[in-house]
A and B are shown apart, each in its own frame.
Chain A
Amino acid sequence: MFAAFVHAAPDPQAVLADSDAVRNPAKPFGVTVTLIEYRSSKQTESNTLAIYSKADSASGQYRSLIRFVAPERDANKLMLKNGNDLWFYDPSSQASIRLSPQQRLLGQASNGDVVTVNLAKDYKAELLGEEDTADGERVMRRAYKLGLAAVSPDVTYHRVEMWVDAANSRPIKARFFAESGHLLKTAYYRKYQPQLGRERPTEVVIIDGLDPSWVTVLRYSDYAWRDVPDAWLQRDYLPRFKPG
């Protein structure tokens, strides 16, 4: 009888997987991402990317083709991301160059920040507690606080703290840590709107861990289901990628 009143602890890995499903459409899709970067409250950079993503049937992790749309000097350059397998292609020189994860093309945002990632595939989640926290709209939300530990050495962040809305599995915010333990960045997931069948965040605000005046806003728009054949997701297709 008493047990009926005890709040059953949720399975943290399932909570994480559910929050992944909020961010990530289950079928291949396309989205436009606009990055606006601020230093000391002044806009310093803006980039627009068109992204095509598809989950790998074997690993469950997303593979993405990223086309630079703006600024003009970078327009139509491409990046292929499949985990840590990263290729950069410049149509002017026809050169496909392998990048290391450390090579950042987009200022503060790591290459992995802008594309879809299934955290539940790369991290082991632990429930650290249940607490009220302010979301990106400054609204208090009851949230599960998860501690994520990397299960693969190939991930961008060694450890993550993530707050997931207890009511609907929406990711609220996350704090990303380096192996040394220092805070790399904080991300707020906000401006939820109906996109591709459910409410999804259409904006992520990233705050640098060392310099909080360094802020990047990622805006997601133009969501659409897209056919992304497996043959597109390899280096030798990059010169051919020209969606109509």
Chain B
Amino acid sequence: MRLTTMALALALALGYGLSAQAASDKPAAPPDDLDALSLADKASEASTQPARPWRLFVEGAVGRGRLRGTDPSFGIYRGSIDFRFDDHIAPQLRAVFSDRLDAVDSDGIPPGDNVNTVREAYLSWARTDHQIFDLGRVNIRNGAAMGFNPTDWFKANALRAIVDPDPAVLRENRQGTVVLQAQQLWSEASLTATISPRLARSADSATFALNVGATNPSNRYLVAGSYKFSDKFNPQLLVFGGNDDPAQVGFNLSTLLGDAVVAFGEFTAGRGTTLVAQALALPEANSNQQRAAVGLTYTTGFNLSLTAEAEYNSAAPSGDQWHLLPASTQQQVLATAQALQDLPTRSQWFLYANWKDLMVRRFDVSAFLRQDMQTSSRAFWLEGRYAWDRAELALQWQVFSGSEGTVYYAVPQQQTVQVVLRVYL
């Protein structure tokens, strides 16, 4: 062995020269490695710039859609400005401001409108590394699931304009809630207490309205605690309630199964009224309600992630109950579910796929299918998106299908196709 090593060393020495200089003439690494190292030698030495505390982009969209009915075709034209600032303005004091203006022109349903969404505007004071206080409008988002988040209570009435149905985008493009919030952190645990006061009773649809009537319609509270029992077991327990909201208990958990699968689940329980009663403003006694979402995300070796999620809402109508509702009431229930970001019927499947760098680098394809299990109807969305360093181009297609009387048949649009261009400034 020793002899072999010496012989190899001698051969290398003879072949490539004994000195470092000689080695650079005839190097002793595999040719592919040498090519790679030569390439790395030529890589630019550009200095690294710190991340900017702000982000600004403009977005334009052009599309066509088809409504159910006799004169179905309509156009969509949209221009948007999206701004976010997040930085320290003094030692231990952080300011966050996030805003988006959407100008939509459409002859479809809903018609175009100009809507400004103040997503976040708050100050965050870190008294210590372990104790932080927030004051202002904060997008408080909880939940381990992807398509339906029962523990994300502040999602209700948070959407002002829906320009993209991707669940991740819906979580981003929404109004936060005006709160006073405190968080205490330990090495393995966190406890957050949030108070969201009543600021107005009704929503305000004016273009630049702060719309606190939608986000702060009553006095509410949220307490969220988590403890990291192990790397794989870090559950979160939540309690939510308020003047108009009976106490709800929530639970979030996600864990790793092998090196390619993440399992997640969230669950809430508490008293409340049915979705139909909320949609029709019917007087109804509270009863026990449960909401849940459980699922798995599997990632392949070629960067395709597939998620399957089962969703349940005891407050929503079953298939039989849905079919008994008049068509106009079905639309009201669907609109209420959309505003509350709640499930419109008792159970759904949500399937989501995301394939990064499909065929070519920087080209991602995403798709989801919402399959309503009560009325056998579905919503489908597909997006292809290519990213340059400072711009993105996307093609989006959305379809609502199902027979007459089903949940997604109640959506006025049958399908839409749009091209979206985003430019970062």
Contact = CB atoms under 8 A, between A and B. Distances in A.
Tell whether A pairs with B: yes
Interface string A136-167: 11111000000000000010000000000000
Interface stretch (B67-75, B107-115, B181-189, B205-213): B181-189
B84 interface: yes
Interface string B89-114: 00100100010000000000000000
Interface stretch (A21-29, A87-95, A115-123): A87-95
Given A234-B185, A235-B226, A69 B27 contact: no
A138 B27 contact: yes
Nearest to B98: A92
B185 A75 contact: no
Contacts of A67: 51
B232 interface: yes
B390 A72 contact: yes
Contacts of A95: 141, 168, 171
A85 B94 CA distance: 28
Contacts of B303: 103-104
A217 B361 contact: no
Contacts of B414: none
B320 interface: no
Contacts of A132: 8-9, 12-13, 28
Interface residues of B, number: 89
Interface string B185-196: 111111010000
A107 B357 contact: yes
Contacts of B16: 134, 140
Nearest to B10: A132
Contacts of B28: 132-134, 138, 140
Contacts of B140: 94
A156 B187 CA distance: 26
Contacts of B130: 229, 231
A235 B234 contact: yes
Nearest to B176: A94
A237 B16 CA distance: 54
Given A75-B51, A91-B86, A102-B299, A212 B36 contact: yes
B35 A205 contact: no
Nearest to A101: B259
A236 B226 contact: yes
A38 B86 CA distance: 33
A194 B194 CA distance: 48
A76 to B, nearest CB: 6
Interface in B10-53: 12-13, 16, 18, 20, 23-24, 27-29, 32-37, 39-40, 43-44, 46, 48-52
B49 A70 contact: yes
Interface residues of A, number: 75
B261 interface: yes
A102 B43 CA distance: 28
Given A188-B33, A240-B132, A100 B297 contact: yes
A36 interface: yes
Contacts of B5: 129-131
Interface string B279-322: 00000000000000000010111010100000000000000000
B201 interface: no
B172 interface: yes
Contacts of A90: 168, 172
Contacts of A37: 361
Nearest to B389: A71
A26 to B, nearest CB: 20
Interface string A62-101: 0000011111110110000011110000111111001111
A129 B132 CA distance: 54
B327 interface: no
A34 interface: yes
Contacts of A215: 36, 39-40
Given A205-B37, A215-B36, A240-B183, A103 B51 contact: no
B39 A76 contact: no
Contacts of B13: 132, 140
B259 A134 contact: no
Contacts of B49: 48, 69-70
19 contacts: A72-B389, A73-B387, A73-B392, A76-B86, A82-B231, A91-B86, A94-B141, A100-B259, A100-B262, A102-B299, A103-B305, A131-B8, A138-B23, A139-B20, A188-B33, A207-B33, A213-B35, A215-B36, A215-B40
Given A100-B261, A234-B189, 13 more contacts: A41-B39, A70-B48, A72-B389, A73-B387, A92-B172, A98-B256, A103-B299, A138-B27, A139-B24, A231-B187, A234-B188, A235-B228, A244-B88
